[in-house]
């Protein structure tokens, strides 16, 4: 029980042991965020989301105009087909030259030239295939799909706007909802002091579980655990922070939501 109270005071950064409170305020923050942006420049042809929408990983979010890129893919496909046809012809010539040289009906120089032509045709085909791959990947880059599931912000650009990789920044941000974190403040000097005294180890922190309630007093049904304790201090307050991770399968907890945490052992 003594260790539990030390950890309560430590993690919550509250009053000394004799007057420790069993709850503290925190704010919900995303465990992961992803900025929606295209890897290529272009005019926005469509935006498929609006502010607050729940998006699914892999879902289409935005497309850039791509009609010219589609033409480039078709040109590259034609180049591959032509290179394949040329290689077939060169191999047929080499096969005939091979049969003739066995009968000593053709010169070694003619056979070597035919073999060289096949090597060149193979290289030309490989180049055409690479150009097709590049054209296809460039075309695919005009469709932007969600890298994570979560809630998305309002679009910062509109349909018809020009997206510039160097200048436009992100079009929107997706915030993961499940799991989600709650950030609380703590006093790192107390952490270090008690660690040095051997009163607990950082592994002991993993034994804590946190209950959560909303500011209106409604209790959240799932518990959270510590996932990170940071020692980077706020230059004005001298406080650090800790992140408590909560399952959030129904998306009830949203970034920016103020909450109240209470700490207990997992045995409770």
The CA distance from 76 to 79, in Å, is: 5
The domains found in the chain, sorted by start residue, are 2-32+176-265 (2.40.30.170), 33-65+142-175 (2.40.50.100), 67-140 (1.10.287.470)
The CA distance from 152 to 147, in Å, is: 12
Q: What is the distance of C-alpha 2 from the center of its chain?
A: 42
Q: What is the distance of C-alpha 210 from the center of its chain?
A: 27
Q: Give me the long-range contacts of 236-240 (CB less than 8 A, separation at least 24).
A: 237/185, 238/187, 239/13, 239/185, 239/186, 239/187, 239/188, 240/13, 240/185, 240/186, 240/187, 240/188, 240/191
Strands 180-186, 150-152: pairing is unpaired
Beta bridge partners of 184: 242
Among residues 45, 38, 41, 48, the alpha carbon closest in space to that of 159 is found at 45
Q: Is 205 left (phi over 0), alpha (psi -120 to 50) or beta?
A: alpha
Q: Report DSSP state, residue 19.
A: G
According to the model, what pLDDT value does residue 188 have? 58
The CA distance from 242 to 44, in Å, is: 40
pLDDT tens for the chain, residues 1 to 268: 444 444 444 444 433 322 334 578 899 999 999 999 999 999 999 999 999 999 999 999 999 999 999 999 999 999 999 999 999 999 999 999 999 988 888 899 999 999 999 999 999 999 999 999 999 999 999 999 999 999 999 999 999 999 999 999 999 999 999 999 999 887 656 556 665 666 555 566 666 788 999 988 899 999 998 888 765 555 555 567 889 999 999 999 999 999 999 876 544 5
Q: What length does the chain have?
A: 268
pTM: 0.74
């Amino acid at each position: 029980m003594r260790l539990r109270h030390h950890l309560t005071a430590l993690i919550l950064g509250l009053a000394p042991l004799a007057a420790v409170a069993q709850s503290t305020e925190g704010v919900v923050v995303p465990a992961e965020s992803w900025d929606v942006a295209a890897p290529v420049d272009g005019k926005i042809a469509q935006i498929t989301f609006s502010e607050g929408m729940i998006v699914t990983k892999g879902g289409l979010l935005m497309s850039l105009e791509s009609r010219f890129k589609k033409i480039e893919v078709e040109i590259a496909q034609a180049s591959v087909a032509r290179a394949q046809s040329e290689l077939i012809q060169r191999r047929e010539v080499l096969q005939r030259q091979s049969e003739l040289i066995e009968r000593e009906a053709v010169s070694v120089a003619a056979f070597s030239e035919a073999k060289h032509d096949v090597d060149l045709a193979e290289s030309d085909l490989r180049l055409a295939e690479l150009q097709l791959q590049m054209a296809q990947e460039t075309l695919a880059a005009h469709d932007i799909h969600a890298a994570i599931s979560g809630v998305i912000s309002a679009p910062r650009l509109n349909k018809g706007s020009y997206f510039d990789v160097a200048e436009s920044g992100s079009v929107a941000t997706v915030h993961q909802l499940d799991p989600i974190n709650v950030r609380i403040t703590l006093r790192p000097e107390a952490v270090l002091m008690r660690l040095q005294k051997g009163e607990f180890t950082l592994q002991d922190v993993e034994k804590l579980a946190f209950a959560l309630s909303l500011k209106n007093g409604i209790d959240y049904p799932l518990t959270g655990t510590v996932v990170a304790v940071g020692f980077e201090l706020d230059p004005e307050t001298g406080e650090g922070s800790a992140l408590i991770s909560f399952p959030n399968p129904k998306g009830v907890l949203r970034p920016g939501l103020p909450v109240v945490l209470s700490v207990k052992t997992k045995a409770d």
